[in-house]
């Protein structure tokens, strides 16, 4: 199987002030190499509300770790093995292994809740745009305030 690589360096040279876009594309191309385990869904619940649902059968809450740092979300599952636990499987179809899954979050997307239900880990996210970055209406009052303050 042939692996295609993409060189994003031309974007870094030509995008002024938007380096983060090239960086996001670069990180996304690297994340494609992640294992498919555990399977997950990403849903758009409403405007600016999202949910990641991961199938984590066999894991308990204490074996899962969710960390959000800057624009990255990392979910880690670490199985705790009991040394005295000896099992002989005739067939093992349920994956019983550690994992780390990374997600790139857009600007201003925050994790607001996480819960387990029926072997599924649900992580709820919300995009909260700060007031200073939201569009605002500019009143037209007919006066040039800059000229009147310099006179």
User: Phi and psi for 124 in degrees, rounded to 5?
Assistant: -100, 135
Does position 101 have pLDDT exceeding 90, yes or no? yes
60 and 3 in a common domain:
no
Residue 139 lies in a domain: no
**Do 122 and 70 belong to one domain?**
yes
Residues 79 and 123 in one domain: yes
Residue for token digits 């959000």? 68
Residues 5 and 63 in one domain: no
Q: Is residue 140 part of a domain?
A: no
Domain total for the chain? 2
106 and 130 belong to one structural domain: yes
Q: With respect to residue 16, please indicate whether it lies within any of the assigned structural domains.
A: yes
Judge if 48 and 21 occupy the same domain: no
- Both 20 and 59 in one domain: the answer is no
Structure tokens at 57: 């059968």
- Identify the CATH number of the domain in which residue 112 sits: 2.60.40.790
Q: Give Cα 31 distance to the centre of its chain.
A: 11
**In terms of residue numbers, what domain contains 3?**
1-33
Asked whether residue 144 is domain-assigned, the answer is: no
12-57: pLDDT as tens digits = 555 555 555 656 666 666 555 667 889 999 999 998 899 999 999 8
Tokens of 113: 């809740």
Q: Best-predicted range by mean pLDDT among 7-16, 41-50, 140-149? A: 41-50
**The pLDDT value given to residue 100:** 94
Nearest to 41, CA basis, from 123, 105, 146: 123
Share of the chain above pLDDT 70, in %: 69
Assess if residue 24 is contained within a domain.
Answer: yes
Select from 55, 50, 59 the least CA-distant residue to 113. Answer: 50
pTM of the shown model: 0.67
CA dihedral (138, 142, 147, 148) positive or negative = negative
Residues 39 and 109 in one domain: yes
Looking at every residue in the chain, the average pLDDT score rounds to: 80
Beta-carbon contacts of 110 under 8 Å, excluding residues fewer than 6 positions away, are 68, 125, 126, 127, 128
Answer yes or no: do 130 and 95 share one domain. yes
């Amino acid at each position: 199987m042939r692996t295609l690589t993409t060189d994003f360096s031309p974007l870094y040279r030509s995008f002024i002030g938007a380096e983060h876009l090239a960086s996001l594309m670069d990180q996304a191309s690297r994340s494609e190499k992640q294992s498919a385990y555990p399977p997950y869904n990403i849903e758009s619940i409403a405007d600016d509300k999202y949910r990641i649902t991961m199938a984590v059968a066999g894991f308990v809450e204490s074996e899962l770790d969710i960390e959000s740092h800057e624009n990255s979300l990392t979910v880690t599952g670490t199985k705790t093995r009991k040394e005295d636990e000896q099992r002989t499987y005739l067939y093992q179809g349920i994956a019983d292994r550690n994992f780390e899954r990374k997600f790139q979050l857009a600007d201003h997307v925050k994790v607001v809740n996480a819960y387990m239900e029926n072997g599924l880990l649900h992580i709820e996210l919300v995009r909260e745009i700060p007031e200073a970055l939201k569009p605002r209406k500019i009143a037209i009052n007919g006066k040039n305030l800059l000229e009147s303050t310099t006179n």
